[in-house]
Structure 1
Amino acid sequence: MLAKHGGVPVRTKPWVPPFISTEEFDEQEKSFVLGVLEKKRVFRFYGEGIQDSEAAKLEALYRQRTRSDYALAVNAGTSALVSALVGAGIGPGDEVIVPGYTYIATAAAVLIARAVPVIVEIDDTLTMDPAAFETAITPYTKAVIPVHMRGTPCQMDEIMAIARKRRLIVIEDTAQANGGSYKGRPLGGIGDAGCFSFQQYKVITSGEGGLVVTNDPGLHARASVYHDCAVLFWGVEPSTRIESFAGENYRMSEIQAALGLAQSGKIDGVVARLRSAKKRIVNGIADLPGIRLQRVPDAEGDVSYSLVFFLPDGERARAFSELLAAEGIPNGTIHNNGFADRHIYVNWDYVLDKRGATPNDTPWNCASYKGSVQYDRDMCPRTLDLLGRAISISIHQTLTEEDCQDVVEAIRKVAAHMAQSDAGAAAQHQ
């Protein structure tokens, strides 16, 4: 009997901790951060040894990890996206294609760069649909930002082929997929630039922080200038000579860099444990006829901190979710979490309303923009349908074999009940 109907729940123990990153804190993080305090140098560009700073070490690590020639540490994932966009020469008059399922920062970064975001459908990978991307290209399209959502790799072969054919810049949003790969290539290192976030909700953290990687010296040089309005005054040689221009202050502090450096050394071990746990659960439910697992373009490259499956419709998804929670497995229907989820385009209010910080000279009405992009809350029906039918369960690196088995047992128990109910309802209609 189901727990909601008076039966014994499959699981009564607490579920996983809310964060992956901070559960890994140990003496290594303490040592790295205390090392900065002992040096009494918390600003990267101070005194001698700039090339040996903690931020420089973090950049060197990500150049190696992503097989990139250049890396730039910044203070947030959003800052990384903005710096990459400006670094690529994107600005007023340009359109940038983004998926309808990503954190609002992806679209916000485009606006901060003074370009116009164009929102397109996702598919059953819950990442950008390559066909929708191609259809949305206009004469004003300059770039695309594929987002590796919830650690799932985008279909990068298709996206890169379209972008190369149409001469578009590809900026990977890898904020939620640090440590992932696609067909053996590290995520973030496939497009023209890759952007990472080290915010606490991510796989590894420095509290806040971000990073841009690229093989383009011009993009790197421009991103460096934009991330620090005085960078050329610190005695740092740019990757290539460019004219200076006004920038921001997106610098990463040495404390952030030290914490990010300590955490980044643990990515591969954390991801290996996540993949092992997810694989156990997937193998235990793959044969169930009533649910359909999220399609993952490269299961071996999946970061694997989220298990997603689809029900036939939204009503069944909500019912399944409620019954599963009663069995002791916390979960959520992605499109019905009881709050305005900023990962779903319908909740990007200032984007859909074309609202800037002031009403004058927004990216949409500036003289440079000749396009006519339109938004409405029903513009991506497939995205809303998929998210409305999707159930997500958080995977954590601390899951034991017993924990995974609890998930399998609970899903199978609820699926069996719903199949029985459907059969009974069908019999009554005959």
Structure 2
Amino acid sequence: MKLVCAPKDYAFKGTSKVLDVVLYGQADRPTRGSVGAAVTDKMFREKLRAATRAWDFLSLALSVIAADLAGHRNMSPDGWTREFELEISVADPAFWNTQRELVGKLLEFLTTDRWQISFMEGGISPTPPKQPVMPPEDCVALLSGGLDSFIGNVDLVTDGRKPFAVSQTVRGDAKQQRSFAQKIGGGLRHLQINHNAEVPNPETPPSQRARSLIFFAYGVIAATTLKRYHVGESVTLYVCENGFISINPPLTGARLGSLSTRTTHPVLLGLLQQLLDAAGLRVRVENPYQLKTKGEMLRDCTNKALLSTHASETTSCGRFKQFGYKHCGRCVPCLVRRAAFRTAGMNDTTEYVYKNLGRNDADHAGFDDVRSVAMALAEVKSDGLETWIGTALSTKLLGDIGPLQAMVGRGLDELGSLLKFYGVK
């Protein structure tokens, strides 16, 4: 599938074999897509001035989001791996074309699709505000509305840091994101942005494989607006996620119960850091919870009172919208969440659609993700953790895998305790 992604003043050729996508504007005809229409206005209203190459990176991320939405898995030979060819307008195509191989490698790892990326002229570099605001915060932290990012921001504030919270607004989460930002540390500076991606004939249900790239891009944009960045210092972008979900180990040999994203996998973060360094963007990406399970994150949170009050208000479910903005209680993220509360000994007042996992039917104990966890636990018991993990931690890019492997084992133990509580075998 080929896409050409450029601002609205670009002379699109309009051929039937290419999907034209308008960046930072609205599509002027139903055969075109659009993404990021409100982003430039949002940044202008906030009087924020970001680095030009940060805008280019955002243009890349927005283009990938549009492709992810437009590409249909069922049209690929194996029903899973899609092939994309993207031409993207940026302000500095000469530089970005030197990074095509690295960008393709990053995207392939993130989405498991195949990508051919090229960059062309015509990208935006918004006129800076006459009196730009340069936030005095000392770091940037993503705030999704999820439990992990909530804990991450709480811990940063307790540690004396002043994070600039950044969110991708999602229906069902936007109000909660604002509420969390107001309640942490007496109120955080908070930037909410929505990519508003629209394409003709989108995949249903929409793919979520590429979504973390837009989170990173928003974080990088925000980081380059800080005062410390403008005076030549580096800024840390905190992307807080528990290590078990970050590693995303396939629970079974098949895709049964597998997760659809590699949001903060250490290999992905390493590739992203290489790209940012090559671009001269002084932003350091860090996941401080890479070696912690979700249960350990809850247990070790530095403000237990605040966590206990709001933990159940956070969102973890992979099918939250599908179930009327309620947690299903049975997808892998929900199972990890429920296991974490038990591990930390915290009261979980979250409303789960499928609460009693012990019910012996297809919606509870027999549901695919629940069975996948049970099968993984059985395989670890019979063959050992190292054999079960297999190639999930085999890449040389990870270095010493011992601590990661131990963390994955503890994460499985948490899930095992949850299933044991409900009598799932």
Larger Rg: 1
* TM-score, L = length of structure 1: 0.28
TM-score (norm 2): 0.28
Higher RCO, 1 vs 2 (CA within 8 Å, ≥6 residues apart): 1
